[in-house]
């Protein structure tokens, strides 16, 4: 599977980015009390498992496998609110719940849709860097069997549930920034129902791979 080219297309269409594998972790261990590198690694082990078993699991099986992992490694509520910015406060409680639910399904579905086959890719940890506001960047890269490389940087912050991913940069392109531009423009121009319809269509596309 040509994961690299598909990942770049993913960013171009402003769908959530992708991950790296660092070193094996224990599947029974939840990442809540672990450091940033271990949280990212927990996610990446899961993605590799989904890729290796992709055909057998199918889309729904990969979604079910990755759903609890994404919940444990991403601060999806924070990302959803940040994506909409000041527009979030203008939504009523039901709209906020609807957006958060659809956003979660799209985030998990994107992983399940793209990580469906393994072709010998190799993932490497590069370094950990301190960031402003007590955040941390975990830098890594994906190496294709051909030797082609793409860089992935993960921004994490520590909350009540431990370290969580709040943004991903692929070759320097911020997934969060892309979503903020797209989602806010649709919300302000066309309204909330149109934004939700757009996200639902993206979910369907993930199911189709």
pLDDT in tens, 120-133: 877 788 999 999 99
Q: How far apart are CA 148 and CA 35, in angstroms?
A: 29
Q: Provide the residue ranges of all domains of the chain, joining segments of one domain with +.
A: 3-208
Angle in degrees, CA 167, 169, 173, rounded to 5? 120
Our CA dihedral for 16, 21, 25, 27, rounded to 10 degrees, sits at 40
123: nearest Cα among 100, 154, 86: 154
The CATH number of the structural domain formed by 3-208 is: 3.10.450.710
Q: How many CB atoms lie within 10 A of CB 137?
A: 17
7: nearest Cα among 199, 125, 141, 101: 141
Q: What is the strand order of the sheet 136-143 is part of?
A: 122-130, 136-143, 149-159, 162-170, 173-174
Segment 87-108, tens digit of pLDDT: 999 999 999 999 999 999 999 9
% of the chain exceeding 70 in pLDDT: 84
Which pair of tokens denotes residue 192?
Answer: 């909330």
- Tens of pLDDT along the chain (209 residues) come to 554 444 444 444 333 333 333 333 333 345 456 899 999 999 988 988 998 999 999 999 999 999 999 999 999 999 999 999 999 999 999 999 999 999 999 999 999 998 898 888 777 889 999 999 999 999 988 777 788 888 889 999 999 999 999 999 989 999 999 999 999 999 999 999 999 999 999 999 998 86
| pTM confidence score | 0.82
Q: How far apart are CA 115 and CA 109, in angstroms?
A: 10
Residue 33 confidence (pLDDT): 65
Q: How far apart are CA 108 and CA 16, in angstroms?
A: 9
Which pair of tokens denotes residue 31?
Answer: 């990442």
């Amino acid at each position: 599977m040509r994961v690299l080219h598909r990942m770049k297309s993913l960013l171009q269409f402003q769908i959530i980015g992708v991950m790296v594998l660092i070193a094996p972790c224990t599947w029974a261990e939840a990442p809540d009390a672990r450091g940033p590198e271990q949280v990212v690694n927990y996610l990446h082990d899961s993605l590799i498992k989904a890729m290796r078993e992709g055909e057998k699991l199918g889309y729904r099986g990969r979604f079910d496998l990755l759903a609890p992992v994404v919940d444990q490694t991403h601060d999806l509520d924070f990302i959803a609110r940040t994506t909409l910015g000041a527009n979030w406060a203008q939504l009523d409680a039901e709209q906020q719940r609807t957006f958060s639910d659809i956003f979660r399904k799209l985030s998990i579905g994107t992983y399940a849709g793209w990580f469906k086959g393994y072709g010998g890719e190799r993932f490497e940890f590069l370094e950990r860097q301190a960031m402003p506001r007590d955040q941390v960047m975990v830098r890594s890269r994906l190496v294709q069997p051909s030797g082609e490389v793409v860089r992935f940087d993960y921004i994490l912050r520590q909350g009540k549930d431990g370290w969580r991913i709040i943004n991903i940069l692929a070759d320097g392109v911020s997934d969060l920034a892309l979503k903020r531009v797209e989602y806010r423009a649709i919300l302000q121009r066309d309204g909330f129902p149109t934004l939700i319809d757009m996200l639902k269509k993206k979910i369907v596309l993930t199911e189709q791979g």
